[in-house]
Structure formats: C-alpha cells, structure tokens
C-alpha cells in the first residue's frame, strides 16, 4: 500500500441509513463512481429519493449547479447483492454498531473483493483491531469515522488498527482532505478521540444533577454562557438520543475494563429505562412539542442599583485580566491570595475546593470559570454556610452594576464549567500519555467533532497547567475517587513549564 492514491477510487458504501447515504453523497460529489448497497431495496430507493431532494435544495441555494447535481447522481448505483461490490477499491460500511455484524460483513467481502480492496468501518467506538481479526489481509481494515450529518460535519477520525499500515492511513488522510474534511489520526482504542475525551462533558454534568446542586436547564445554560459550549450536556444528549449516548458510554466503560472515569450515569439510565430518549421520543431532560421546541433556562433580569460596600482586591488575578477590566479594578500584590473582598465576603475563583469544607471562619463565595469575562452575562457562584441572604443580595447587586446576573448553586467543588473543562483536559492528557493521537489532532477532533469552543490543549494553555492541576488535586482529595486523579502527563507538563519559567527568571536575573 505504499504511495496509495485514492483520488479516483471506486467506492462502495454499505447501508443506506442517514450516515450511509451521507457518505455516498460525499463520494459522488467528489467525483467517485459509487455503489450503495443495502439488502432492503425499498429503503435504499427512499434514501436516494431523499438525496435527490437534498441536491435540489443545494441547487436552489447555489451551492451546486444543476449539471453538477445531475453528474453526481449519475455516479451512484444502488444494489442489493453484495457481489456487486466486487470491483470496489474502498468499501465503507455504515451498518449497525455491533462488532459481530461488521466482522461477518468484512469476512464475506474478503471472499468477493480483491486482496487490495480497503475495508473501512464507520464505527464510532468499536476496536478496529477486533473488527479485523479473522479477516484475510487484516492490514487493509481501517476505521473511517464520520460524524453526523456526514456531508456537513468537518471531522473524520481515521482509526489505525494494530495491523493497519501508516501508508493506508496517509492515503485516507489525503482522500479526506480532497473531500474538504479535517482528518485526524487515532489509534484503535475504545472511543478513539472524540467519544473518549468527551465523556466528562456528560459525566460531570450528570453528577451535578445527581448531587442536586443545580437543575438540568440551569446546568445547560451555565455551560453555554460560562463555558462557551454550543449546547449543554442535557440538550446535547436529548439531541443525540439518550439511549444512543448511554450505549456509547457503556461501551467505552466496558472496553476500558470498567475504568471509573467512564462510569455511566444513573440519571441517564433512568431516562433510558423510561423511554425518555430525547427529541425523538418528545421527552428527555426536556419536554418537546411537535416542532421539537422546548423551554430553556432564563436568568433573572439584571437591575443595577447603587451598592454601598467596601471593595478591595488582593492578588494579581493574572489568569483573568478581562475580569478586572470589566470591574474597573487593578491587580494587587503577587504575594496575596486572589480575593475580591465585598465588605466581609471573600470572593475567590474556584480551584476545586469546597466552600463548606475549606473555609470555616470567613464568609466565602466561590466563582466558576468563565470563558469570556468581557462579554459575560452571568456568573455561576456558590457560597459557604456562613453567608446569609443579605450577603448574597450584596454580591448580586455588586455584579449587577456591570451587567452580570448571578446563578447560585449549592457548594459543588470546581462548580460546573471549571470542573468540566478540567476533566476534559485531564482525559486529553491521558490520551496523549497512551499515544492515542497528537496534541493537534486531539484539539481538532474536539473542536470539529463535537463543536467545542476550544480544544483541550488550547484550554490548558489559556488556564495554565498549574491551575488545572490544583483543581484536579483538590477534587481528588475531596472525593477520593480515581476518576479525579490527575494524569501523570499533566503533572509532567506542569513540572516542565515551571522549570522553564524558573530558568528564564534566572537567566533574566543574570542578564540584568
């Protein structure tokens, strides 16, 4: 497979569901002669009719010419006999997510197709190494994981099994670049990149619900407003399907030999057991009307009033210069803790500590991370038991002066956004430790596969490794659970960056 060129490959797509017809659309639009195979001829025909309507809309929007649409459709052949795939150069299966089904399909094709035919699986979490086991020439089996809808979503995970050569992965990477996709290379480990690293996004949100610190709609609002995510975990899993998301979580959990970091949520299991699968069942976390509309959380209106309080800032707040600018404050001494004092109330940026356990003698309010304090409309805060209603009102009034509302939640270490992002970073570090993918591919996978505002390593750079590590260490100390144990990769990263900073400081001193 050296110097393999797939730019003119004859392609076969197996399965005419949403994903299969989407992959077929990509292939024919990009000039490939394509065979669409499905045992159910009626289903396949309906899929093609749907594709014709899609092309009609693209022509109306001037994204395709009528000639381009006609030529693309002329490249597509629909068959219901597997023998018709004999001449394919690249077979892409998009069938049910079961290892045995995919194995059986590829074994059947191995007897029909050329030994050089590439077998690509669109699996989202099943081991490509396991799929290739028992197939003649297993080195031709590879993962090609598109994201739904395939014609729209930019990311494609190219999954390298134990016997898949680098040359095949490179050829598929070039093909995907020709298709104007963003390909990332990952080893065949459970969940690959996206479905592995994304687990904390759901797990930490659902844990907050299970610990009764917030409501599902407030949780979603917080992660969108403060975290910059396009959707919160409850909205997103309702869209994906609670049953589908729960199944993927279970698969990753089992494939990792029940690693605690991937443990499924009882909150989600209840929804699945009740048949509350989200939009498709009109009931999940949210209730949906016939147009799939639902009510979302709305914070209280901000009403600015004069505040009679003594304000004092301690510490540099070096991570949040935009926060100080917004409040019209100047940083203090580097030797001080980062504290914003509002009379006798200490407001601190959370580092994963507990307001009620760590602060016993002073009124303390802990603030969650916000991705953009310049544009922040709301802040998520918690407080210890020493704070009274009048103290909370004073804090609310202070931030209202600057156009920010306050969302109070119960004491929850690392609150919502910080906790989620710290765990996403830690999971990315574990993936790097095990050589799953490059740092660049990990960031691209999370930005373009699940539409995160930043990749984990971009967050790490922005927030600072020491801050993320301190947050995780505090969570680990409080919960005593392995899921919060900081990755050795992160610890090494922090040690290295601190050593570089120390050396730079010494060099500057000597230079002076």
Domain coordinates of the chain in residue numbers?
Answer: 11-188, 194-281, 311-408, 429-511
For the chain, give the number of residues: 512
Name the percent of the chain lying above pLDDT 90. 91
Global confidence as pTM: 0.94
C-alpha to C-alpha distance for 268 and 276, rounded to whole angstroms: 9
Q: Of the listed 122, 195, 251, 487, which one is catalytic? A: 195
Torsion of CA 331, 337, 341, 346, to 10 degrees: 150
pLDDT (average), residues 110-128: 95
Whole-number Å distance between alpha carbons of 222 and 370: 9
pLDDT for the residue 301: 87
For the domain bounded by 429-511, which CATH number is listed?
1.10.1040.50
Is residue 438 within 8 Å of 185, Cβ to Cβ? yes
Chain segment 253-274, per-residue pLDDT in tens: 999 999 999 999 999 999 999 9
Which pLDDT score, from 0 to 100, does residue 336 have? 84
Residue 367: predicted pLDDT = 98
Asked whether the domain spanning 429-511 has the same topology as the one spanning 194-281, the reply is: yes
Contacts of 124 (CB under 8 A, 6+ apart): 97, 145, 192, 195, 248
According to the model, what pLDDT value does residue 431 have?
A: 98
Whether pLDDT at 18 is above 60:
yes
| Fold assignment, 11-188 | Rossmann fold (3.40.50)
* Mean pLDDT, residues 218-228: 98
The predicted structure's pLDDT at residue 505? 52
- pLDDT at position 508 is 42
Q: Please report the pLDDT score of residue 468 as a whole number.
A: 97
pLDDT at 506 over 80: no
Top pLDDT among 505 and 456 is at 456
Catalytic residue among 16, 33, 122, 157: 157
Q: What is the pLDDT of residue 500?
A: 67
pLDDT at 108 over 90: yes
Q: How far apart are CA 138 and CA 140, in angstroms?
A: 5
Q: What fold, for 311-408? A: Transcription Regulator spoIIAA (3.30.750)
Instruction: Read off the pLDDT band of 511 (50, 70, 90).
Output: very low
Segment 44-63, tens digit of pLDDT: 999 999 999 999 999 999 99
Q: What is the mean pLDDT of residues 81-92?
A: 97
pLDDT tier at 158, thresholds 50, 70, 90: very high
Identify whether 145 is a catalytic site residue.
yes
Pick the catalytic residue from 16, 33, 145, 396: 145
Which one of the listed residues 124, 251, 265, 338 is annotated catalytic? 124
- The closest alpha carbon to 418, from 214, 222, 234, belongs to 222
Q: State the sign of the Cα–Cα–Cα–Cα dihedral 186, 190, 194, 197.
A: negative
- pLDDT higher than 90, residue 67: yes
| CATH architecture, domain defined by 194-281 | Orthogonal Bundle (1.10)
Chain mean pLDDT for the chain: 95
pLDDT of residue 480: 97
Known catalytic residue at 195: yes
């Amino acid at each position: 497979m050296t110097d393999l060129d797939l730019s003119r490959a004859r392609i076969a797509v197996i399965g005419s569901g949403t994903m299969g017809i989407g992959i077929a659309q990509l292939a024919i639009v990009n000039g490939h002669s394509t065979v669409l195979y499905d045992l159910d001829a009626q289903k396949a025909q309906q899929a093609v009719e749907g594709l014709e309507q899609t092309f009609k809309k693209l022509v109306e929007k001037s994204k395709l010419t009528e000639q381009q649409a006609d030529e693309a459709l002329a490249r597509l052949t629909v068959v219901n006999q597997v023998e018709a795939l004999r001449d394919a150069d690249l077979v892409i299966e998009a069938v049910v997510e079961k290892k045995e089904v995919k194995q059986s399909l590829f074994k059947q094709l191995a007897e029909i197709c050329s030994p050089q035919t590439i077998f690509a699986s669109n699996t989202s979490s099943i081991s490509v190494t396991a799929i290739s086991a028992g197939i003649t020439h297993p080195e031709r089996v590879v993962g090609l994981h598109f994201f739904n809808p395939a014609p729209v979503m930019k990311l494609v995970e190219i999954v390298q099994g134990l016997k898949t050569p680098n040359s095949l992965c490179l050829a598929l990477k070039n093909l995907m670049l020709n298709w104007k996709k963003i390909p990332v290379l990952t080893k065949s480990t459970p969940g690959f990149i996206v479905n592995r690293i994304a687990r904390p996004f759901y797990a930490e949100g659902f844990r907050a619900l299970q610990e009764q610190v917030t409501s599902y709609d407030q949780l979603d609002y917080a992660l969108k407003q403060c975290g910059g995510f396009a959707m919160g975990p409850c909205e997103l899993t309702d869209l994906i399907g609670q049953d589908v998301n729960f199944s993927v979580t279970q698969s990753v959990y089992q494939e990792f030999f029940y690693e605690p970091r991937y443990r499924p949520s009882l909150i989600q299991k209840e929804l699945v057991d009740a048949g509350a699968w989200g939009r498709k069942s009109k009931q999940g976390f949210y209730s949906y009307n016939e147009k799939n509309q639902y009510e979302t959380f709305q914070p209280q209106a901000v009403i600015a009033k004069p505040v009679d309080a003594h304000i004092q800032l301690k510490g540099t707040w070096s991570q949040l210069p935009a926060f100080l600018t917004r409040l019209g404050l100047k940083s203090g001494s580097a030797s001080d803790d980062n504290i914003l004092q509002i009379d006798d109330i200490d407001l601190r940026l959370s580092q994963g500590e507990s307001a009620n356990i760590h602060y016993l003698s002073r009124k303390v309010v802990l603030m969650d991370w916000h991705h953009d304090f310049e544009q922040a409309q709301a802040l998520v805060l918690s407080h210890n038991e020493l704070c009274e209603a009048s103290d909370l009102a004073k804090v609310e009034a202070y931030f209202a002066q600057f156009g920010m509302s306050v969302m109070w939640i119960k004491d929850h270490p690392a609150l919502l956004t910080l906790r989620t992002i710290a765990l996403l970073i830690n999971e990315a570090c574990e993936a790097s430790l095990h050589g799953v993918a490059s740092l660049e591919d990990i960031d691209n996978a999370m930005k373009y596969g699940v539409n995160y505002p930043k990749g984990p390593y971009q967050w790490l750079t922005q927030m600072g490794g020491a801050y993320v590590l301190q947050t995780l260490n505090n969570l680990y100390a409080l919960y005593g659970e392995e899921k919060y144990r900081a990755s050795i990769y992160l610890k090494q990263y922090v040690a290295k960056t601190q050593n570089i900073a120390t050396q730079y400081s010494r060099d500057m001193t000597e230079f002076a």
